[in-house]
Structure 1
């Protein structure tokens, strides 16, 4: 087992119950790394979503999205958020608990069953499942959260005027690299000028040339995301510069293989490629 910091002990030493412990990191567009788990915000957000801290990139995605939104002033009463492909993730209830009005979206149940999301409990289907942990007061949740069925390749035009939107490792499942990047660009249409989009996805650490380009799961390379950054800039939007972390602990070199671990899972093998999660932070242009 690779050497790593004891996250349980770390959580005990952090205040974990006050936003004063969050500090200002700040997060940028970047890949998952073990050093993020040393931030005081990490056990704080884990406590908020009622999970024990663990070295798992999926949990990192939840912390990354929550912290990035909080840093930029989005998690407060009166803000409107739109979640794509929410499955049964805890972020919907978390953001509602901060007073945000949330529209949670996912694919329809029949399509989710065909691709296997329902069998693995990764599909929402209805509102009740989104607050199963009671992260948000049930009365507030009922008032603040709505659910819609949405195809991420065809975002309906009535979804607009949001302060922020997000997705957690979803757009790599839209069929191809261009389709996923098209979704990211189209998601900005749902935002007010100056609104914030935060998306996480699968990132290919092995190659900047070869990758999985189409199918059920595609893997984005550095140049795919750098090209996206340039396209967004040309359209008067701003994407935070992409940081690719090499890591500083033995755990950063550990590649998890099937059957995947519930811990020690910052990098994993998909096909022939070493993969981790990458987060993108995009600000919609004020004139776009």
Structure 2
């Protein structure tokens, strides 16, 4: 039985606000018992973030800078972002290729994971074409163009994306401009090799087909439900040729037993969802990279960052805190990280 929500009046809200204020109207400490319990939550969060970011910054500074590396085969699995991966020479190589420093951040892992998948599956050939879903301002199409590889950038139609706040936060590509990264490729090569098409990932047009590979970075968890995200991965295979690869990253709840977030603007997949998808795809003859749900065992694998992000809510303290680096985050009460899944279409 679902409990009915408690209706609060404006007077109730005002009383609750006064109880939770750090100080009373006379600027004295608020000695209400509930206030005492919650007044230090903000400071606890700040402590966790400060110590975790400091440690991540020191560990990153101790890593060798990207450069003098070569791409190599590591046998990429369907796996989670870990500290060990970001310390690896293969991640350092792709950071160097993207011209960014190696940092302990799960978003950087996502880009490295997809580029490693491209390398291991021979996608950097000028005769191939790639398809990016929900591409936003990510640099992958620019990097592909720098290697002579053509690609199509897709994202939600502009009117749909604006209603979700992605345009305002520069996470949406309404055309090619956001996808162009001049530090990676010349404008002429980019314009020659990259094109744009508005696409809803829950309704992929039937004529969007014939590509050699496709990808998405942290997009399929925003399709509204877990099932829609899983359906997208399977449907994405229709856009590529037999033997082509489909590689995606998404948000993952590392706790498999118990509830997770579903039917929400951003959902959290669990091991059981990926296992069921893999079984379904393998039954159809597709090859799913070996499943590995190890969340890592190093110190930053166990640092769970807390909201607010980018120091929002700590006004005036931005310059005092280290930049926000993390591999695991608290998402609506769950421990989340990034999952990369790699599928080769049946030949």
User: In structure 2, which of residues 234, 256, 259 is the aligned counterpart of residue 207 of structure 1?
Assistant: 256
> Hey, what does 2:288 align to over in structure 1?
239
> Hey, what does 2:231 align to over in structure 1?
182
* 8 Å contact kept, 1:209–1:221: no
Shift of 1:8: 4.1
**SS of the residue 1:115 aligns to:** coil
User: In structure 2, which of residues 271, 274, 289 is the aligned counterpart of residue 222 of structure 1?
Assistant: 271
CA change 1:6–1:235 in 2 (3 A) is same
Alpha-carbon distance between aligned partners in 2 of 1:13 and 1:182, rounded to the nearest angstrom: 37
Alpha-carbon distance between aligned partners in 1 of 2:92 and 2:66, rounded to the nearest angstrom: 10
**SS of the residue 2:305 aligns to:** coil
User: In structure 2, which of residues 168, 176, 187 is the aligned counterpart of residue 127 of structure 1?
Assistant: 176
User: In structure 2, which of residues 292, 304, 313 is the aligned counterpart of residue 255 of structure 1?
Assistant: 304
Higher relative contact order (CA 8 A, sep 6+): 1
Structure index of larger Rg:
2
* 8 Å contact kept, 2:133–2:216: yes
**SS of the residue 1:203 aligns to:** strand
Alpha-carbon distance between aligned partners in 2 of 1:30 and 1:263, rounded to the nearest angstrom: 23
Shift of 1:77: 1.1
Alpha-carbon distance between aligned partners in 2 of 1:151 and 1:246, rounded to the nearest angstrom: 31
Write 1 or 2 for the structure with the bigger share of strand.
1
**SS of the residue 1:230 aligns to:** helix
Q: Structure 1: any 5+ residue segments left out of the alignment?
A: none
> Hey, what does 1:154 align to over in structure 2?
203
* 8 Å contact kept, 1:28–1:241: yes
> Hey, what does 2:331 align to over in structure 1?
270
Alpha-carbon distance between aligned partners in 2 of 1:251 and 1:197, rounded to the nearest angstrom: 29
Alpha-carbon distance between aligned partners in 1 of 2:123 and 2:65, rounded to the nearest angstrom: 27
For 1:218-264, what per-residue CA distance to the aligned partner results, in whole angstroms no more than 9, with x for missing partners? 10010000000000011111111210123232111000111235543
Cα RMSD, aligned residues only: 1.5
Within a 5 Å distance, the mapping from 1:19-34 to structure 2 comes to 21-34=70-83
Alpha-carbon distance between aligned partners in 2 of 1:134 and 1:39, rounded to the nearest angstrom: 24
1:12 aligns with 2:44: no
* 8 Å contact kept, 1:8–1:52: no
* 8 Å contact kept, 1:181–1:228: yes
User: In structure 1, which of residues 99, 102, 109 is the aligned counterpart of residue 148 of structure 2?
Assistant: 99
Alpha-carbon distance between aligned partners in 2 of 1:117 and 1:86, rounded to the nearest angstrom: 12
Q: Structure 2: any 5+ residue segments left out of the alignment?
A: 1-50, 311-322
Alpha-carbon distance between aligned partners in 2 of 1:162 and 1:233, rounded to the nearest angstrom: 21
**SS of the residue 2:172 aligns to:** coil
User: In structure 1, which of residues 167, 180, 195 is the aligned counterpart of residue 216 of structure 2?
Assistant: 167
Shift of 1:78: 1.1
Alpha-carbon distance between aligned partners in 1 of 2:167 and 2:87, rounded to the nearest angstrom: 34
- 4+ residue segments displaced more than 4 Å: 2-5
TM-score, normalized by length of structure 2?
0.78
Within a 5 Å distance, the mapping from 1:76-87 to structure 2 comes to 76-87=125-136
Within a 5 Å distance, the mapping from 1:35-114 to structure 2 comes to 35-114=84-163
TM-score, normalized by length of structure 1?
0.93
* Higher mean displacement: 44-53 or 152-161: 44-53
Alpha-carbon distance between aligned partners in 1 of 2:67 and 2:129, rounded to the nearest angstrom: 30
* 8 Å contact kept, 2:81–2:295: no
> Hey, what does 1:138 align to over in structure 2?
187
Shift of 1:215: 1.1
Alpha-carbon distance between aligned partners in 1 of 2:64 and 2:165, rounded to the nearest angstrom: 34
